[in-house]
Chain A
């Protein structure tokens, strides 16, 4: 009898195992956790962007009902600062400026939202009430909120020891070659743009619970993190000086991160430290307003670029100068974002032979800025793909033709760019062809004419992109200043009856790892999906891990699992060989069945597993019992997903309102494990990209007040702002990891913003507009149209 089971392995769009609990409200998020005897923390935050703290009077707060303790920075003299995980060096080789980031502000508050004091009380309301009774004597100082203001002569300095607010002045590429290329170029296109600052706004606000066991001296931190082991290392080793074996970090279900939950935040250290001081659990949950003013923001670049071309439109050289806003302090990976995650990608999908990039990182009196979905690669892609469109227009070469002419050809891989990266695989012509076909590029002008009859301005835009993810080879990032390795860890724990528990060092906060990673096991070991569970997010359960960001979970974490499964299969074959009295070399394994090659002698997976744990008939002299293997996998290279995104918009000229009417994404994310999940990841990323391009603006005023400090002023994408996003994949395999996978978590947010803005500029082609800054709001677009009308009237 043949038992037919639905295929659940690699390539199957199986439903997400985690969705039952998420969709039925049974997820267990940090704020759902309550510990016996728990007290609540409320953080008093600076209302000023920049102020000297002359004194803090906590007496009234201490006397308030329910107050357990009030702490200020003065109570924490032994704590280290919040560390930065990546040291960048200046052009002259000297290290970046790295000012102390105290857990609670000492002496000065440096942004609106800077933590100044904490109240711990019996209830959340009592903690909040008491925090309002703290009297802080501020002497308000002039503030800087933008990079341009911060580098101006005589600008206020955020840190006294950091002259000119300059964190670093870094470069990559060969300046002399670059200058020579520009000197002989037939055409130079110059361009300036801003990559708008964003507030991450994960659906679940950050939360943290510190717990302390007096009998064992063990601390536990429950936190909304994408990487609990990294938090344990950063907080334990650098801030609280706790050894790892006395500190457990649990990141349970986490409701979205988008990068903002990678970083080690002060609140994690505060609740853990306070739990030890008070010998009782302390819980903090951010209110949405706090999220706006304390979650690390994203993007915020101001860039000047020049592109040199020859007479045929071939790119000869690119020169980029970027000012990157770091905010008031260096967040965990802030320094790497505008350097090694940005400038190294400036070749894009093109053969530009010379690239020279200069990046200055600037301190301002704003929330720290760090990685946000795509982290550096969206900024690079937006610059390149806008620049290419401008170059096409100014050389009179068709937008598609100029791209094709400069593409790295499919037979040129591995391709060494002039900015350090070596792309392993890709096929940009094919993804472009597929996107053009799906989007109906050739018939666009008829749709434009039809829209014009309805009084609408219709435009189409394209972005052809590559990104670098699957972060990252430890030796490479170490040489570039990373203070961590970026391998990943996977344990395959086979149980006696053959079911499997996977322990992964990656963390799922919406991506569907519990399904995708289980599919790897099903595919390789033949165990039904229902018999595979994926465990993540607890340093007490998982051997180690670097967590989830940079679209690394499958490419690095999945590869670690493959290595662990290799060990499992190798051992299981030896057990099978013993049982079948065959040479191990003759034992084949294929999805659940061990067979002596060329015979009908077989053993089932479950029997081997049972034998491993009940080793009555077992090669005990040469093999340990059990079937439980762990592997660390350090990738050989980044992975390089890429593709083409095409956006079609309609603008209502009377109001400037933009509607995205079509969006087509054709992405090469390498081998696809679960097409449904990939589609969802790309759609989500594209929606975030549309949000950045059209809707989202984090705005500070000149005094450093966060003007867009709530959803009343910060426009998150809503369902009716978004089109149906058509997603397709074209696969070229990654050549250096065992799965051939590249990653799909960020491509949507990386490829889409320039496609949207290119479409908006195209829609406005009759109004003499060269560029429109993101977000392209109705008011901005109306301003352009109105100015165009004014020109026409003259």
Chain B
């Protein structure tokens, strides 16, 4: 780990001030991605801005038909929250499968979504549920927010404050884990919200993406069989020592089918 300055601001405004003034400053919440990168000397920030003291980033509540989760909500909190379980059980259950117990008690939803690791779990839920990303400056639709591997619409110095999820009629998630890292190798989150179906695929490609053919099929008939016949193209999917693009394409269909089963 290289040396860096450490800041622990008490408000969003103070945090944004530090981050805006220094393009090489990095915010940290649970640290489950940044800390390993620092330890491996893969990242050399001038300063690290610890968000954990900012009350405005905390809390889980239901408001106006929306589920609002503060950026600092830990995966474990989301998985155990009665509010989340009541509104979107699939989201609570997804959070309970992230990493391991240690990771779930440190990692946060804001950190995961801002990082946009293609193999992370949350981006699929955010995308499929058509959630809105609330930052200190604006509101961003999920479709506009995720912009490919480790890239989002967040601008330098902009801070993710909360995520607003519409409450779906049905939602489900299934994933195949990478055997070594246990990150997502191919996952599918399916949701029907206000009669509209969205299917988001994570793990398989360079970033989370919507599977529109599956959305059409599920719109016509909300059933596992409806997606079982929809093939995912292997083009542009990841290929590595754990599996070919063709394998991942196949898994996308299998996981979509299982996600529909899970959604009930």
Q: State whether the Cβ of A413 lies closer than 8 Å to any Cβ in chain B.
A: no
Q: Determine the residue in chain A with the shortest Cβ distance to B179.
A: A715
CA A786 – CA B243 in complex, angstroms? 14
A695→B254 contact, CB < 8 A: no
Q: State whether the Cβ of A1 lies closer than 8 Å to any Cβ in chain B.
A: no
Query: With a CB–CB cut-off of 8 A, which chain B residues contact A455?
Result: none
Given contacts A713-B181, A714-B180, A715-B180, contact A786 B250 (CB under 8 A): yes
A711→B181 contact, CB < 8 A: yes
Q: Determine the residue in chain B with the shortest Cβ distance to A701.
A: B241
Query: With a CB–CB cut-off of 8 A, which chain A residues contact B181?
Result: 711-713
Q: What total count of A-B pairs have CB within 8 Å?
A: 46
Q: State whether the Cβ of A531 lies closer than 8 Å to any Cβ in chain B.
A: no
B254→A655 contact, CB < 8 A: yes
Checking B41, B179, B241, B247 against A783 with a beta-carbon cut-off of 8 angstroms, the contacting residue is B247
CA A654 – CA B251 in complex, angstroms? 8
B180→A711 contact, CB < 8 A: yes
Q: State whether the Cβ of A735 lies closer than 8 Å to any Cβ in chain B.
A: no
A289→B40 contact, CB < 8 A: yes
A-B pairs, top 3 by smallest CB distance, nearest first, are: A779-B243, A715-B180, A712-B181
CA A708 – CA B243 in complex, angstroms? 13
Known: A708-B180, A711-B180, A778-B176. 10 other contacts (CB 8 A): A654-B254, A655-B176, A655-B251, A656-B247, A713-B180, A713-B181, A713-B242, A714-B180, A777-B242, A779-B244
CB distance from A719 to the nearest CB of B (A): 11
CA A779 – CA B243 in complex, angstroms? 5
Question: Which has the most chain A C-beta neighbours within 10 Å: B2, B40, B41, B243?
Answer: B243
Given contacts A125-B1, A655-B254, A778-B179, contact A707 B241 (CB under 8 A): yes
Q: State whether the Cβ of A697 lies closer than 8 Å to any Cβ in chain B.
A: yes
Checking B1, B183, B241, B244 against A697 with a beta-carbon cut-off of 8 angstroms, the contacting residue is B241
CB distance from B101 to the nearest CB of A (A): 13
Q: State whether the Cβ of A699 lies closer than 8 Å to any Cβ in chain B.
A: yes
The dominant DSSP class at the A interface is loop
CB distance from A167 to the nearest CB of B (A): 27
Q: State whether the Cβ of A782 lies closer than 8 Å to any Cβ in chain B.
A: yes
Question: Which has the most chain B C-beta neighbours within 10 Å: A697, A714, A782?
Answer: A782
CB distance from B118 to the nearest CB of A (A): 14
Given contacts A712-B181, A714-B180, contact A779 B242 (CB under 8 A): yes
Binary flags per residue of A358-370, CB closer than 8 Å to B gives 1, else 0: 0000000000000
Checking B1, B41, B179, B241 against A695 with a beta-carbon cut-off of 8 angstroms, the contacting residue is B179
Binary flags per residue of A771-784, CB closer than 8 Å to B gives 1, else 0: 00000011100110
CA A105 – CA B51 in complex, angstroms? 46
CB distance from A657 to the nearest CB of B (A): 8
Binary flags per residue of A760-779, CB closer than 8 Å to B gives 1, else 0: 00000000000000000111
- CB within 8 Å of A: which of B241-257? 241-244, 247, 250-251, 254
- CB within 8 Å of A: which of B1-57? 1-2, 40-41
Query: With a CB–CB cut-off of 8 A, which chain A residues contact B241?
Result: 697, 699, 707-708, 713
Query: With a CB–CB cut-off of 8 A, which chain B residues contact A782?
Result: 247, 250
CA A697 – CA B242 in complex, angstroms? 10
CA A655 – CA B250 in complex, angstroms? 8
CA A132 – CA B250 in complex, angstroms? 44
CB distance from B258 to the nearest CB of A (A): 9
- CB within 8 Å of A: which of B214-264? 241-244, 247, 250-251, 254
Q: What are some 10 contacts across the A-B interface (CB < 8 A)?
A: A654-B254, A655-B254, A695-B180, A699-B241, A707-B241, A708-B241, A711-B180, A782-B247, A782-B250, A783-B244
- CB within 8 Å of A: which of B154-194? 176, 179-181, 183
- CB within 8 Å of B: which of A677-730? 695, 697, 699, 707-708, 711-715
Query: With a CB–CB cut-off of 8 A, which chain B residues contact A786?
Result: 250
CB distance from B222 to the nearest CB of A (A): 21
Question: Which has the most chain A C-beta neighbours within 10 Å: B180, B181, B241, B251?
Answer: B180
Binary flags per residue of A108-151, CB closer than 8 Å to B gives 1, else 0: 00000000000000000100110010000000000000000000
CB distance from A786 to the nearest CB of B (A): 7
Binary flags per residue of B46-73, CB closer than 8 Å to A gives 1, else 0: 0000000000000000000000000000
Query: With a CB–CB cut-off of 8 A, which chain B residues contact A654?
Result: 254
Query: With a CB–CB cut-off of 8 A, which chain B residues contact A713?
Result: 180-181, 241-242
Binary flags per residue of A71-95, CB closer than 8 Å to B gives 1, else 0: 0000000000000000000000000
CB distance from A67 to the nearest CB of B (A): 16
Query: With a CB–CB cut-off of 8 A, which chain B residues contact A125?
Result: 1
Query: With a CB–CB cut-off of 8 A, which chain B residues contact A132?
Result: 41
Query: With a CB–CB cut-off of 8 A, which chain B residues contact A708?
Result: 180, 241
CA A129 – CA B44 in complex, angstroms? 12
CB distance from A702 to the nearest CB of B (A): 13
Binary flags per residue of A563-581, CB closer than 8 Å to B gives 1, else 0: 0000000000000000000
Q: Determine the residue in chain B with the shortest Cβ distance to A779.
A: B243
Q: Determine the residue in chain A with the shortest Cβ distance to B3.
A: A125
CB distance from B220 to the nearest CB of A (A): 23
